[in-house]
A = this chain, B = another copy of it.
Amino acid sequence: MNFLEERIIKDGIVKEGNVLKVDSFLNHQMDISLFEQMGEEFKKRFEGKGINKILTIEASGIGIACIVARHFDVPVVFAKKSKSINIEGDMYIAEVESFTHKCKNQVIVSKKFLSPEDHVLIIDDFMANGCAMQGLISIVQEAGAKVEGIGIAIEKGFQDGGRIIRNLGYDLQSLAIVESMDAATGNIEFRAQ
């Protein structure tokens, strides 16, 4: 087991409905030292890809993306989930479904911050059905930029997202892939990597 799998076993809580609560260290309270380890690991896995920008999506992707960005020495752009009066002008827009909130959102990125010269690493905390990720990929494509890699903290391997995105040829690296969880026993099985 790697550092993140160990932490999930220690502090993650399995709930009914295939919900994995990791809010004590990942997506409500955030353990910055853990994020640093994730940054080091992603840096190793995406070394030499010429990454010049990290793209993530609000809200819980932002913290990880910012700490990871230190290891690549690049800026972070975060996609926003609703139109704000502070965003104007041309925007890339993708429609995404949210598993957690059971609704559809528009995800937007200002055209100023993604261009054909960009070599993008997409970072997020979770991947389940991959809808948010598909939206982010479509935004990078629309900008004419290149997705050099996708780094996820926790992938729910029993849902479709990861398989679809790997089938599309993307270099998707998840630090922990949960194969199965059992709310009754609290047991969590990870995919061997």
A residues neighboring B (CB under 8 Å): 19, 21, 23-25, 27-33, 35-36, 58-59, 62-63, 65-67, 69-70, 73-78, 80, 82, 84-87, 100-102, 109-110, 112-113
Contact = CB atoms under 8 A, between A and B. Distances in A.
Listed from nearest, the 6 A-B pairs whose CB atoms lie closest are: A58-B59, A63-B66, A62-B62, A59-B59, A29-B113, A30-B76
- The quantity of this chain's copies bound in the complex is 2
Contacts of A74: 32
Contacts of A36: 70
Contacts of A75: 25, 29-32
Contact of A70 (B19, B32, B59): B32
Given A78-B59, A80-B59, A100-B84, A112 B24 contact: yes
A113 B28 contact: yes
A23 B100 contact: no
28 contacts: A23-B110, A23-B112, A25-B75, A28-B80, A28-B110, A29-B76, A29-B77, A29-B110, A30-B69, A30-B75, A30-B77, A30-B78, A32-B66, A32-B70, A32-B73, A32-B76, A33-B73, A36-B70, A58-B62, A59-B78, A59-B80, A63-B66, A63-B78, A82-B101, A84-B100, A85-B100, A85-B102, A86-B100
